[in-house]
Amino acid sequence: MDKTTHFGFTEVPTAEKQSLVGGVFTSVAKNYDVMNDLMSFGLHRLWKQHFVATGQFRAGQKVLDLAGGTGDISALVAPIVGESGLVVLSDINGEMLAIGRDRVLDAGHRNVVSARINAETIPFPNGAFDRVTIAFGLRNVTDQLKALTEMRRVLGVGGQALVLEFSSVRQPLLKPLYDTYSFAVLPRLGKFVAGDADSYRYLAESIRKHPDQETLANLMHQAGFERVAVRNLLGGIVAIHSGWAL
């Protein structure tokens, strides 16, 4: 029997998920940043700034930014690691990566290089990086444990992985409002702004299928990380997971 996995709330053959997710992000690439601002009321920028500000980045570090999309995280990290450091902006989707690459270059970040990478098969040697980040991308990976294991592999001793992702709402009063917004408002907003309701319906569904805080922390432990920690933002709508390679 063929293995299946979830694509939003739909079960699909595991081998097909990557191409289906690719189709979503190819569709939304041109409107991705505008929609992020609208969907989150601009909060995604604050979440990303906090994510980087608390990530213990330092000058001279080598950083791999997985599922880096349009370059927000890479652009924030690049000035911190400086000219002696390096940021690899990566994404599996070519359309998203092209936008991010152009953005960071236009901003003058010459210590950023781009590479098309599948997070499940990272083409770098063991211990190549001091930090690995993935922001709002892990939930779209087919085999999350495999990706986390790869992240652990490419970190040197004392390196840290940082995951910023939508998570499980911890405030009971907030959950029904959040659900209504996710499933009633977001697809309509996607149709109005981007002409694509289905992709934004998938994105809302993918959040609900993503592991909750404790489950993701356990996956990080399974992948070999130590001192795994979780910080909830906005009542658990978003969470930051971190783990160390020791």
Q: Supply the DSSP string of 165-227, one letter for each residue.
A: EE-----TTHHHHHHHIIIIIHHHHHHHHHS-HHHHHHHHHHHHHS--HHHHHHHHHHTT-EE
Task: Say whether pLDDT at 58 is over 70.
Answer: yes
Range of the domain at 140: 16-171+199-245
Q: Is residue 186 part of a domain?
A: no
Q: What CATH number has the domain bearing residue 52?
A: 3.40.50.150
- pLDDT of 2: 63
Checking if the pLDDT of 73 tops 70, the result is yes
Is 29 within the bounds of a domain?
A: yes
Is 180 domain-assigned? no
Q: Pseudo-torsion of CA 164, 166, 167, 169, nearest 10°?
A: 130
Is residue 8 included in any domain, yes or no?
A: no
Residue 181 lies in a domain: no
Helix or strand run (H / E) with residue 77: helix 72-81
pLDDT digits (tens, 9 = 90+) for 234-243: 999 999 999 9
Rounded to whole angstroms, how far apart are CA atoms 151 and 131?
9
108: left (phi over 0), alpha (psi -120 to 50) or beta: left
Q: Within a domain: residue 189?
A: no
Closest to 162 measured CA to CA, from 178, 151, 146? 151
Listed range (3-7, 64-68, 207-211) with the worst mean pLDDT:
3-7
pLDDT at 70: 93
Q: How high does pLDDT run on average in the chain?
A: 94
For residue 7, being part of any structural domain is answered with no
Q: What is the pLDDT of residue 173?
A: 86
Identify whether 1 is part of a domain.
no
pLDDT digits (tens, 9 = 90+) for 172-192: 889 999 999 999 888 898 888
- Encoded tokens for 43: 């909060």
Sign of the Cα torsion 140, 103, 163, 132 reads positive
The count of structural domains within the chain is 1
Contact 97, 68 (CB under 8 A): yes
**Residue 78 CB contacts under 8 Å (≥ 6 apart), including other chains:** 85, 87, 104, 109, 111, 112
